[in-house]
Structure 1
Amino acid sequence: MKRITWWAMSTLTLLVLLFSYRTSTEAVAAGGAGASNTVAMQQNTTTGQSEAGSTQTTTSGSGTGSVSTPAASASTSGSAKSATYTGTSVDTRWGPVQVRITVANGKVTSSEAIVYPSENSRDQEINSVAIPTLNSEATGTTTSSIDMVSGATYTSTGYIQSLQSALDQAHI
């Protein structure tokens, strides 16, 4: 009888310990960021195109990461001058994210993600909600301090970094 009681209590203790074990997703997030930085360092050349179709973005890396120098296109409509700026492409755990903004009178009038993860159905599902939300958050702002989208942390982080790059080019 003592053996059965001892066995039952041991089994119960193990089950309690098993179900109370908390896994940490923060360690994975930190590891994922390091891995994406490694990928960014290995990338040497990237090119992009402006709305007019001419090549505008070139990057070159020398082992310290890639630095992008996107160009801006400007147009005038009435008395308000607007210009379009393309942020750098930011490598995330699930793929690159790149943002293009239009600025008029020192304010973002439109924002769109031109590159974002869409490799599989899960990426498409997440970004079908996240990208429009991020675009609307960035429109009308003068800073990259926008709300992130829950469930799309990597895309949101990449979006914000690319948005900041575009805002820096616009000198906002």
Structure 2
Amino acid sequence: MRRAVLATASTSTLVVVLLALKPHHTTALADRAPVSVPVPAPSGTVPSGPGPAASPAAGTGTYTGDPVDTQYGTVQVSITVGAGRLTGVKVLQAPSGDGHSRRVTADAVPRLTQEALSAGSAHIDAVSGASYTSQGYVRSLQSALDRAGG
């Protein structure tokens, strides 16, 4: 009986220690540009912002999403739509107030952008460790898609 209690306590302690470990980020992530993922706009780009959106038949243009305030900073994206499909995402604003926010942003933004382009929508998974940034990204992306009519 004593061995079972000791084994259970040891296993529980090991699980807690493993869950408490945080992944280390390389300095390369901290040093690279944290915010922008530029994608060239197609010809015939329509200005974003207030005003009429391109009709679904046109299906081409650049649209800016709403800025979304998160606990760590504002997130705002701009999208490019070509032939009715999402062809580019550019992050205009992302949390960068301190070193930790810059590292999280540098890791999360490229992943979120790749997922958005692959999915062609705002129905994407959040990046682990960047929950607030992910939520802001998705909300801004959805508002841009709404402006584009998709």
Under a length normalisation based on structure 2, what TM-score does the superposition of the two structures give? 0.61
Please tell me whether Structure 1 or Structure 2 has the larger radius of gyration of its CA atoms. 1
Structure 2 residue 144 is matched with structure 1 residue 156: no
Q: Kindly provide the amino acid, as one letter, of the partner of residue 86 in structure 1.
A: T
Q: Which runs of 4+ in 1 moved over 6 A?
A: 70-73
Q: Kindly provide the amino acid, as one letter, of the partner of residue 108 in structure 2.
A: A
Following the alignment from structure 2 to structure 1, what is the Cα–Cα distance between the partners of residues 100 and 122?
26
| Residues 56, 144 of structure 1: alpha-carbon distance in 2 compared, 3 angstrom cutoff | closer
Gaps of 5+ in 2: 1-12, 14-40, 42-46
Structure 2 residue 95 is matched with structure 1 residue 95: no
Deviation at 1:81, TM superposition (A): 6.2
**RCO greater where, 1 or 2, for CA within 8 Å and sep 6 or more?**
2
Structure in which a larger fraction of residues adopt strand: 1
Percent identity reads 43
Following the alignment from structure 2 to structure 1, what is the Cα–Cα distance between the partners of residues 80 and 88?
5
| Residues 84, 72 of structure 1: alpha-carbon distance in 2 compared, 3 angstrom cutoff | farther
Structure 2 residue 111 is matched with structure 1 residue 133: yes
Q: Is the 8 A contact 1:134 1:156 kept in 2?
A: yes
| Residues 160, 143 of structure 1: alpha-carbon distance in 2 compared, 3 angstrom cutoff | same
Under a length normalisation based on structure 1, what TM-score does the superposition of the two structures give? 0.54
Gaps of 5+ in 1: 1-18, 20-50, 58-68, 74-79
- SS of the aligned residue for 1:96 comes to strand
RMSD: 2.8
- SS of the aligned residue for 1:139 comes to helix
